Structure formats: structure tokens, C-alpha cells
Structure 1
Amino acid sequence: MAPVKLYVYDLSNGLARQLSRQLTGRQIDGIWHTSVVVFGKEIFYGQGISITPPGRSHHGQPLQVFDMGETSLDEDTFNEYLQEMRDHYTADKVSTSFIDRKIRSNARTEFNCNSFTDDCVGFLTGQNIPAFIKDLPSDFLSTPFGAALRPTIDSMFRRPSPGTPSASMPSPSAAANASPDPQLAASILQAVASQAQAAPPQANGYVQATNSLTGPLHMITNPTSFRAFLKSHRAAVAFFTSETCPPCRMIEPIFERLSEEKGLHDGRTGAGFAKIDIDVGMGRNLAEEWRIRATPTFMFFLDGKKVDEMKGADANELRTQVDLLLFQAYPPHPHTAISLPAVQALSLNAIIFAQAPVFDTVLAKQQSFIDDQTSWPSSIQTKDQVKDTLSGVVLPYLKARFPSPVPDKSTKNLSSATPAILIAWAQATAAMAWPCRSNRYSL
């Protein structure tokens, strides 16, 4: 019996946790990269499968280490599994008849490091890696900011094979400008880029290999990983395919788009999408278990049970089946059928005041509110700390951003808040909101 560990790295160095809500409207705790450690080796996927001593990859020391149990398999069996995977997932194994399409799809529909790690863990122990890691791509890409940054992140993590000309990387600044706050976006992007482009160890024949993190599909090559996938997704869609199947190549871009549109969003609703190449790994065993007789075949699962099956490359039917599955998994609330024209006519646009208030008066009211509170969450911030933040950090920034009188064309040159100001304001706001919440619950 050999222990199996999961190494987890945050390529944003903590910036995603601090700033993701401002940039995406979602709390995303990290840009995750994972690897599996077993038999004294750390294995991860990028431009091929790479092996290093534990903790010696170019990502440094892991942020978290998860115990995934023990494996009863011997090292030779696992090495055979890796070798078969290596034979299929290398850039020089692509058929020249569709090489251009493959190059475009590799960053998204083929393995990413996390789906590969999940597959290895499933093969070794029957477990699966935490859902918050596996479903990060769909969650992140469902935001406008994530969609805007996708080409840049893909390019940073995609490295060409030897002898293959490298593609030019999109400008990070151009992608960052698509975000609500370009400065913050650029900070996260730069942190991820520095990790992705870090020089890897070259000793003992170990090579650099890092690939895209933004692929929303789960690549599965063995029955154990497939069972774990079904267990972790209430609604699931499985695509059984083969590299030699022309109809599969026709329908694959449609399936990929559906995985982006209908995948898990905000960790709550949506379906999991899996791709099983029956010619890779133990794909044949999985196909026999589910009686796959032709490709492409799509299977639809609800709470781990198969509810429907579709054969052939019918894009319209595939979309219909996915929508039906999601309707069954997440039926709309009955109130959505009620006709409420007055409510539906209300504008959802933000209310923006054209004139800034007198900031000193606002500050005086806030300080008076703080002084009047009989209960206060000192574990967050003391009253004096909150008042110091308001008067010493927030007020000077607001006065500088909205001078009075307002000079001509000032709205075109407003300075953006720094991460330090935003973090201080968030902590002060949390402390001031706590008494209101506490009083409401005590009524």
C-alpha cells in the first residue's frame, strides 16, 4: 500500500481570494494548479506528462496538501497507465488532417492539469479531488472578466512542443482593460503569469510542462474516475468519442461550447461535462461497462443515474437534451410563472448619483452611528480602528477622486482605488454592518 497525496498550488499567490469578488462578482479563492504525489514522485500534466521529486516542480512548495488515501496498485501498473496516457497526449501525436483544429482545441477540450490529476487519483484510489478545484474553470469562465481573460491565460499556460513555432501571447493589459478595474486585473494576471512562466528544474531530465487551466471539460480515462465524476455532479453529461471518428470531431466544438454555457456556475447550478476517448487508458473498459456500441454517444445522468442516451452528431438534439437535464435537476420556482408586469418593469440598472455628497457630513454621521452602538464586533475591527480607516484612508481618497468644485473633464481621469484601500474599506464595512445584522436577528 502506498500513500497518495494531492498537491495544490495557487498561481495567483492569494490575489484571487482578495480581489476576485471586485473583478468577477464571485468569490474565487485561487487559480488552482494540482499534481498527484505517489511512489515518491510528483506527477502533473502540461505539454505532456511530467514527473519531478515532490515539491521540486517550478511551482515551488504547495499551498495545501490533501491526503487522498492509499493505493493497492503497484508502481509498475501505475507507470504503465502513465505511459499509455503519455502516448496519446503529446503534441506530436496529432493527425495532420485536422492538426489546425486540434491546436485550437488543445487548450480547452483536452486535459488540463486538474482534470488529469483527478483522473490519476481516481485510478489509484477511487477518490476524486475536491469539487472547488475541478469546477473552477466553468465557474471562472462564466463571469465576463473570466471570459475576457481566457485567451491570455490560455496562452500563458500553453507551451509549444520542441520544433513547433510558439504562438504570440495576447497582451495582458488589453485583457485587463476588459475588467471593472484594470489595475487589479493586471495585478492578478501578472501574478499568474510569473508563476506560469517560472523557470522549471532541469536536473535529472525533468522538463517544464504547464498547460491551460481554463478547460471546463473533465477528461476521464478509467471507470473509477467516471464513478467519482457522477457522484460529484447532480447533473452530468458524458461524451464517448474516438480520435478516428469524423462525426465526433464535428460535434466536439458544440459540446465544448455547451460545457462553457451550461457548466457549473458559482458552484451551485449547471451540469458537469465529461469526455471519454475510448481509445485512451481504460476507455474501452468504460465503454464496455456502459455498452457503448458507436461513437459519438452522449449519456445524461441525474443524481448518478442514467436518464437518457443519444447517438450521433445532432447538435440541436444535444442542446435540447442538456436543457431538459438541467430543467429536471434545477426546476424553476413556481413563482416564476406568475405574471407580475409591474415588478418586471422595474429597472435593474444601478442608481448613480450625478453629484458627490459633502464627505465631511457623511463621515460625521458614520462616526455618530459607530459611537451609538452598544454591541460591536471587536474581533473584526474596534470602533477606533474603523473610525481611523474612514477618516484617514477612505475620506482622503474620496476627496481626491471627487474634488469640489469638480474641474472640467475630471470624470475622464478619476484615479482607481488601490488594493490596500479596498481591503481596508471592506473590513470597515463588515464591522459597521455587523450591529445591523445582529439587531435584525434579535427582533
Structure 2
Amino acid sequence: MGNLAEIVRICFSTNALMTGFVTIGLITIITYIAFMLERKVSESSPFWQKGSINVAEIVLLLVAVLIINLVFRSLTNGTKVELGGLLANAELTILFYGLFIFNNRLIVLMNILLPFFYHPSFDIARMMGPNWWLFIIAYLILVIVIDYLYGHKDELIVYNYRYLSSQLLFGICWWTILWIDYRFPIADIIGMLILFEIYMLVVRIIEQKMSTYMHAYTDLEVKVNYDALTGVRNRANFNKVSKDEFEKFADNSKPMAILMFDIDHFKEFNDHYGHEIGDEVLRHVSHIVERELHVGKTNGLLFRYGGEEFIILLPNKDVDQASQIINRIDRTLKDMPLFIQGNRLDVTLCFGVTQQRIDDQSFEDIFKRVDEYLYESKRNGRNKMTIEGETLNYGQVIKKSS
């Protein structure tokens, strides 16, 4: 009965509640930042960007551990054993959650090496003691759990029992190692393990709630900024991005080309085949253009401005480079006609192209110019491009001004 009372006291003491509150608060912040960092990096991101994000995640966890240590300096109500156990529990919660939430090999490496780098674990006396075999077993199981956590995150998200089993094994292995080094009373070990599971249960609930919230936010952002029919950026997003890009390139130290195009005789597709086929034409064109904008290092931004009109922003590209991209789009459209209900639909586009100028006062000046160039292409027979006032057939070279 004495041991049970001690376990209950440990789990529900003021210090335990305060520790849990601080730890869970830090976990909530880490979860939010993790989602923000996840949005900034992908498989195609450059190595330096991935490396910077990984280092930022390590720093985030270390700051969280530092805050927990600072909190414990203010806790004077409790035995040294109890406070030390609570501190270890809080740190283990941060370590486990860091493995789970971040896709970071540096955090995996830190977890694997940590049992050898905290006092007095680095002392060789541990391996000379009577419980060396217990340390080896606990450490090997811990490494297996860490490897499983890193490699099976999707399964852990879906299957709660695997998540719970992993965290339980993680806690048992660590508390076995801590017992070997510090000889905590068994009642304290059991109490700390129960407390660790309670922490992780609350953390799991918070993670699931925040994940639902963040994904709902992402879905809303997609609806607000992307066209539902074609999947490309919409006019609202264009209004925001165009202003940002204009200010970025306003000093004219780097070029920015602006392209506006629409689909030739689009009304005839709708009138002859129906609006569903017209929608297919819009999707076909937008997907081909979007693909061509990501060949090499083009990195252009495609927007559906309205109806069959689209706009492309090409940061760090001049009109000569823009004409090369347009010719590539034209060739791909010819090579990949749209076949629907046994009909071959040959789709052509007409373009207006300009470049941001030093005397442009706002993006409105650029828009009026490129819009006029687009209509110049239409007036000259369509299936053409007008670049800075010069109307050309696809494949023609821009005349260089003397």
C-alpha cells in the first residue's frame, strides 16, 4: 500500500502537474512550428534548405529542453529524486515527440547517442558494473524503437496501438537506463513511467487536434488561393503575388517577364462540344503550361485570371527567355492534342509578353501593357505572340533593337 500511495503522490503532485503543464505547452508550440516548417520544405527542395530546416528543428528541441530546465530551477518543493525524475520525464517526452513529429535524421542520431553522453553515463564504470547486460539489452531495444519511429510515422499516425506500444517501450528502456545510473526507487520508476504515459496521451490528443486544424487551414488556403477547376493559382492569389513580385523587382536589378494568354476560339469549344468539354480544354491547357513552367529552373507562376485568360509571372527571366518558354508550350500543345469522345481538339494560344520596366509605377502599368499586347496578337490572327509590341509567329526570333 505504501508503494501505491507513493506512485499516486508522484503522479498527482503539484510539481508533476506544473511539469506536465509546461511540457505540454512546449509540445503545442513545437507542433505548430513543425507544421510551419513542413510547409517550407519538400523532397525537391535544395540540400541547403533541408539542412537549415533540420538544424532549426534541433535548436527548437534544445530550446524546449533548456526552458524545462529553467522551470525546474524554480521548483523547490519536492525531493531531489522526485524533481530529477520529473525533469527526466519532461525531457523524454520532448525527445520522443521530436522523433515522431520531425522527419530529421539529426534528431534520430541525437537520440541514439544520448544514452552515452549524459552524466554519469559516459563513465566506463557503468559497463564494469553488475548490470552491464541490462544496459545493453535496454539500449538495443531503444535503438530498434527509435529506428521504427523514424521509418514508420505513417503507421504510427493511423494505428494508435503501435504509437502507444512504441512510447511505452521508449519509456521503459530509458527508465531502465536511468535506474542503472541513478538507482531511483522502483516505486518512483513505476510512477514516472505512468506519468510519462499520461504526458504522451495528452500530447497525442493535442497533436491530432492540431493536425486536424492545420490540415483544415491548408484546405481553406487552397480554396482561397487556387482555382477549383484547373488547380492553378486564382485571380485573388494573383492580386497578392503580383504586388509582392513587383516590389521585389522594382529596382530593375533583375528582370521579370509577365505573360498573358488565352485560348483561341474557346467559345467555339463550348458552343460546339458543350461546357464540360470546354472545362476539359481549360484543364488540358493549364496542366501543360504548368508542366512546362517547371522544366529546368524556370519556376514560373501560373494564374487563371478569369474565363480562358491566364497570366504567367517569370521572376529572373527577360522577354527573350519568355519567348523560348512560349515556343516550348506551343510545341507541347501540338505534340499532345486533346482527344475527347473520338474527337481530336487542336488547341492554340495567343500571348502578350512584356517585362517590368524601371518607369512602371505599379503592377497596373505592367498589366495594361501586357493586356494590350495580348489583344494585338488576337487582332493579328491569333495563334501568335506579341512581345513588347512586336507580333510574331511561334518560332520566330525577337528583333533586337539597335
Higher helix share: 2
Output the TM-score relative to the length of structure 2. 0.28
Rg larger in structure: 2
Output the TM-score relative to the length of structure 1. 0.26
